[in-house]
């Protein structure tokens, strides 16, 4: 497969910068996930002869569910980061998957794994479009 031309004109240096950002974030998240999973495993094995109050058991259950939710969200971000690294490799990094326009540099700096421009992300949040729908079709017919 041939490499796509970089539509937004990101230089090799810029692409390398974003690749480094993604790798750093991936390492950070992996450390966080490992620490949370370790905490979850340690907390679930506590057995003692001391009676626990029902409220304490409820709090522990809530904290465990909350932490499991955080781990799941972090794993989703790791997958998004891997996909962004793939987009760097195939030349499609920095292009909004919804509008086909360049993603703003400040957005890429803040969330380098993003797939959408700010405009399209706002459209998704407001319900004006859906992630697998092409909004350009609506613009052209309007």
pLDDT tens-digit map of 47-86:
454 556 666 677 777 888 887 888 899 999 999 999 999 9
Residues 62 and 20 occupy one common structural domain: yes
129 assigned to some structural domain: yes
% of the chain surpassing 90 pLDDT = 51
13 assigned to some structural domain: yes
pTM beyond 0.85, yes or no? no
Residues 76 and 110 occupy one common structural domain: no
Please enumerate in sequence order all residues whose Cβ is within 8 A of that of 22, keeping only pairs 6 or more positions apart, or say none: 81, 84, 85, 88, 112, 113
Is residue 71 a contact partner of residue 36, using CB atoms and an 8 Å limit? yes
Domain that holds residue 105: 94-142
Residues 63 and 115 occupy one common structural domain: no
Residues 83 and 119 occupy one common structural domain: no
- Which residues in 129-140 are b (16+ Cβ under 10 Å) and which e? beeeeebeeeee
Res. 1 pLDDT band, cuts 50 70 90: very low
Please enumerate in sequence order all residues whose Cβ is within 8 A of that of 24, keeping only pairs 6 or more positions apart, or say none: none
Residues 65 and 125 occupy one common structural domain: no
pLDDT digits (tens, 9 = 90+) for 85-132: 999 999 999 999 999 999 999 999 999 999 999 999 999 999 988 776
Residues 61 and 118 occupy one common structural domain: no
pLDDT of 65 reads 85
Q: Which of 121, 116, 75 is nearest to 92 (CA)?
A: 116
- The total number of structural domains that make up the chain: 2
Quote the CA–CA distance of 128 and 126 in Å, as a whole number.
6
Residues 24 and 61 occupy one common structural domain: yes
Residues 130 and 101 occupy one common structural domain: yes
pLDDT of 52 reads 66
What pairs with residue 11 in β-bridges? Answer: none
Residues 18 and 88 occupy one common structural domain: yes
What DSSP state is assigned to residue 65?
H
2 assigned to some structural domain: no
1 assigned to some structural domain: no
Which of the two residues, 140 and 55, has the higher pLDDT score? Answer: 55
């Amino acid at each position: 497969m041939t490499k796509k031309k970089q539509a937004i004109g990101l230089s090799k240096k810029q692409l390398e910068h974003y690749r480094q950002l993604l790798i750093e974030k991936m390492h950070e998240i992996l450390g966080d996930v490992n620490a949370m999973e370790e905490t979850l495993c340690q907390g679930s094995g506590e057995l003692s002869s001391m009676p626990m109050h029902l409220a304490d058991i409820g709090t522990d259950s809530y904290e465990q569910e909350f932490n499991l939710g955080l781990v799941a969200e972090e794993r989703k971000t790791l997958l998004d980061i891997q996909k962004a690294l793939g987009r760097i490799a195939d030349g499609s990094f920095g292009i909004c998957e919804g509008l086909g326009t360049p993603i703003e540099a400040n957005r890429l700096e803040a969330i380098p794994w993003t797939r959408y421009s700010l405009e399209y992300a706002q459209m998704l949040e407001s319900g004006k479009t859906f992630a697998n729908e092409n909004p350009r079709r609506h613009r052209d017919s309007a």
